[in-house]
Structure 1
């Protein structure tokens, strides 16, 4: 249970809108979600067809796992009714089916990953081709992914503030 030794923040659980997180908040949320997903997959013996190692590279999996984490936090809150964990487990069964579907669509696997294929609608430019990529060290990939995401968000924040100051 060492993966869940206390939250990184003292805030109560709240829905995460990954589109709107600041760089600092994103870093905290990525680490928190990664800790919980690792705990979840080990505790329930989940195969890569439900929670693949490269879930963090697929927004559809991030959103699903994020909301499942929030639901778990609420269900196991000490002030919650004693039957709340049963509701979480019922919803977890439904979520596992959705996760299987997301993983099948995404194309991510145990030892390799590829971006989720996008369908171009009429009038849109054709979607880029996607190729499988072998990733040798999952933890190293996760850390680099988070570093890149945080840097992208920081650049966006800096750009926003520089435009605001010049107005």
Structure 2
């Protein structure tokens, strides 16, 4: 009876929005969350008339923008949840103002624009980079087919995450468990 009640409450209220840790989402969740975030970002930029200096077309290619926009979306979901307190929408708009300033700063630092994009430059630390780390190619590229690029990005991310997951599983399978207590 208690389980049925808990399930009923969950069905009625839904899940509480939680922060998304992009580093460890399984491939299928990664795809879902990227598509949901993309739809929300598109709504946000239209709803608030945000220029490319705040949300550029290639935001998905810049982790700093992805994390910021993701946090903003989760905050919005929480603030507009039917169970949220009445002042949550006002709190979201306050935080949205601060987030717009950060987004502007991120866009300025990253170098992405309405008509061109390049990976965010990373300053290498002398003798402090991980083995195998390579400085990204920061060549400007024209922005032409944004939707096509986003879908290719999602596929790249899913493929990379699947390879990480497969490698972890293979490592576990190949572990010699006979030496373990």
TM value normalised by structure 2: 0.83
> Cα offset for 1:128?
4.5
Out of 155-164 and 15-24, give the one that drifted further.
155-164
CA distance in 2, matches of 1:27, 1:129: 25
Specify every segment of 5 or more residues in structure 2 that has no aligned partner in the other structure, as ranges. Answer: 1-13, 176-181
Q: Equivalent residue for 1:12? A: 16
Matched, 1:139 2:147: yes
CA distance in 2, matches of 1:129, 1:28: 28
Structure of higher CA gyration radius: 2
Q: Could you list the structure 1 runs, at least 4 aligned residues long, displaced by more than 6 angstroms after superposition.
A: none
Q: Equivalent residue for 1:155? A: 163
CA distance in 1, matches of 2:137, 2:55: 24
- CA RMSD in angstroms comes to 1.4
> Cα offset for 1:71?
0.5
Specify every segment of 5 or more residues in structure 1 that has no aligned partner in the other structure, as ranges. Answer: 1-9
CA distance in 2, matches of 1:124, 1:113: 27
Aligned residues: 158
TM value normalised by structure 1: 0.90
Q: Equivalent residue for 1:98? A: 102
> Cα offset for 1:14?
1.0
CA distance in 2, matches of 1:56, 1:27: 13
